[in-house]
Amino acid sequence: MIGYNPDTHHARIGDTTQVFLDNSLLHWVKNIKRSNHKAIPHKNNPLIKMDKPWEQMPYFTTCYSIIKDDDDVFKCWYSDFIVNPVHQRPIPYMAPPRWGSRLCYATSNDGINFQKPDLGQLQIDGLDTNIIKWDHQMDVGVAYSIIRDPIETDMSKRLKMTYLPIEFSGNLPKKATTLSGDLMGLAVAFSSDGINWVPFSGNPVETVWGGDVQNLMYDPIKRRYVIYGRAHSPGGGGGPGSDGWFTKSFPDMPYGWVPKRSVYIIESENLIDWTDASRVLVPGANHNLDDEFYCLAPFRIGDYYAGLLPVLHAVDNTMDPEFVFSKDGKEWKHIQSDSRLIERTTGAWDSTMITSAEPPIRVGDELYIYYGGSPSHHDWWIVGKSQGLDTLEGEPGYNVNHGLGLATIRVDGFVSLDAGKRVGIVNTKPIFSVGTKIIVNAKCSPGGYVKAEIQDTDENPWPGFSMEDSDVFTGDSVNHVLSWKGVDQINMIPGYVRVSFVLKDAELYSFRISDNI
């Protein structure tokens, strides 16, 4: 396992990027602070919105999936809810009579300008559409999650989809402990092109799985498929005293029985046979009394698991994404200070709801974070009128105006170690790598710099790699190779070493030891 091992007193880091999300690689620091950074919304937002005559309610709260495929084309799948009359529905789609859901498709060559191509699969009022024809064997799906499977050798199955089959869903007669009678089950489908899908003949592959959100990933460390989602009803289900949306919680026992929205995990080696669901993220003492965890978009950063966690603030009925991280994908930590990853824009299309349901995509030196946004509240437009809330949302003809936006952040840019006007020092624990170069991701302010020293385990500088020999870096780069009087090859230093970074008016995001820049 990559990471610091107290038994051997050093970390075998290989060429894995080392980030500073916690203190596990830090030996000591001086005049250094840890900073958390926000993603910046794109000026062209929203990138995808309702603009076709056949669209009724494109829904980007969680019902979308996006990848950058092998052909470098960005491909996005999103739900368009079929409601009648358009934009007006006093009941949630889980309860009878159910909403319909159509799977729509959009593409982009640059990740910014999206088109909705005519697919030739379904016409509406004589117009070709971007709607994917949904075979009846697929069931009416929701909460689609799509990945490009990195280990699949059968190209007809290179794209994998998991989704919740609405028509199958049902917990009556009861199958599981969830209090809900709806949204149970998991289905799988395969595709070579993302347009023509073939359902697994044995669907549903899981019957004890519920909620309206989920995120599929292939975990290269565990060598298995993982889904983060929900396995219970957040609102007390169909009990006599339940409104189906929210219920009482118990602040003094946050890790006991928690009926609020929480994140669960299931795992599979073949996408068909799944482990029992276990809870891995639950609102606790570090969040407000009304906060609930909607879903988790997982990804890898260095030797950590990371996730984008949409948090539902139940009282205000708004949502914001947070950044979380974990060493094992099950025990998660939160960034506590100024935790909102993307700021909502007052009076704009994303003024009330921001939900990041997909992992970031690297584009050059940046990470693209696609998120759903809306000026409408989480559920007021659905049940506000039936619950007697004083709101215009849900009035006849009201449009929730969901859209898909983009926010960007530098590669490994969620957290940095910073120094100000005083010189700061970061001294690592002993590390081992056979790589030839130390490559840093750092940003210097005017007059700022980064230098480094290679030390033995007793913090003595190796000859030729002292701080005095270090060439000064004063720029802004995600891939800067450190050098010492022009020498950048460090693999002739034997054994494991410490790296001592010296910073002034600079931010250090990550480093790696590798042959490849």
DSSP string, 90-108: SS-TTSSSPPEEEEEEEEE
Regarding predicted confidence, which is higher, 6 or 130?
130
Strand duo 10-12 + 431-432: pairing: parallel
What are φ and ψ of residue 401, in 5° steps?
A: 55, 45
Comparing 152-156, 197-201, 253-257, 455-459, the range with the smallest average pLDDT is 253-257
Residue 98: predicted pLDDT: 53
CA nearest neighbour of 303 among 21, 495, 29, 9: 21
60 token code pair: 């980007």
pLDDT in tens, 191-238: 999 999 999 998 889 877 776 788 999 999 999 999 999 876 555 555
Q: Are 354 and 375 in contact (CB under 8 A)?
A: no
Residue 171: predicted pLDDT: 61
Residue type, 122: L
For residues 335-347, give the mean pLDDT: 84
For residues 404-418, give the mean pLDDT: 98
Residue 258: predicted pLDDT: 61
Q: Are 150 and 159 in contact (CB under 8 A)?
A: no
Residue 5: predicted pLDDT: 58
Q: Say what percent of the chain tops pLDDT 70.
A: 85
| Cα angle, residue 217 at apex, residues 213 and 220 outer, rounded to 5° | 160
Give the pLDDT band of residue 249 (cuts 50, 70, 90): confident
For residues 472-484, give the mean pLDDT: 98
* Predicted confidence (pLDDT) at residue 127 exceeds the cutoff of 90: yes
Comparing 80-94, 105-119, 130-144, 335-349, the range with the smallest average pLDDT is 80-94
* Predicted confidence (pLDDT) at residue 1 exceeds the cutoff of 50: no
**Measured between alpha carbons, how far is 368 from 364 in angstroms, rounded to an integer?**
10
What are φ and ψ of residue 53, in 5° steps?
A: -65, -25
Give the pLDDT band of residue 445 (cuts 50, 70, 90): very high
pLDDT in tens, 89-117: 434 444 444 567 889 999 999 999 999 99
Q: What does the mean pLDDT of the chain come to?
A: 88
pLDDT in tens, 350-389: 999 999 889 999 999 999 999 999 999 999 988 888 888 9
Residue 183: predicted pLDDT: 58
**Measured between alpha carbons, how far is 313 from 172 in angstroms, rounded to an integer?**
30
Residue 347: predicted pLDDT: 92
Give the pLDDT band of residue 336 (cuts 50, 70, 90): low
Give the pLDDT band of residue 87 (cuts 50, 70, 90): very low
**Measured between alpha carbons, how far is 305 from 302 in angstroms, rounded to an integer?**
8
Q: What is the pTM of this model?
A: 0.93
Residue 86: predicted pLDDT: 46
* Predicted confidence (pLDDT) at residue 248 exceeds the cutoff of 60: yes
**Measured between alpha carbons, how far is 315 from 249 in angstroms, rounded to an integer?**
13
H/E segment holding residue 382: helix 380-383
Give the pLDDT band of residue 239 (cuts 50, 70, 90): low
* Predicted confidence (pLDDT) at residue 2 exceeds the cutoff of 60: no
* Predicted confidence (pLDDT) at residue 70 exceeds the cutoff of 90: yes
Q: Which residues pair with 292 in a beta bridge?
A: 312
For residues 401-414, give the mean pLDDT: 96
For residues 80-91, give the mean pLDDT: 57
For residues 333-354, give the mean pLDDT: 88
**Measured between alpha carbons, how far is 23 from 417 in angstroms, rounded to an integer?**
11
Regarding predicted confidence, which is higher, 284 or 216?
216
Residue 335: predicted pLDDT: 81
Residue 185: predicted pLDDT: 81
Residue 9: predicted pLDDT: 66
**Measured between alpha carbons, how far is 190 from 210 in angstroms, rounded to an integer?**
21
Give the pLDDT band of residue 55 (cuts 50, 70, 90): very high
For residues 9-21, give the mean pLDDT: 90
Domains of the chain: 4-37+415-514 (2.60.120.260), 40-410 (2.115.10.20)
Regarding predicted confidence, which is higher, 415 or 384?
415
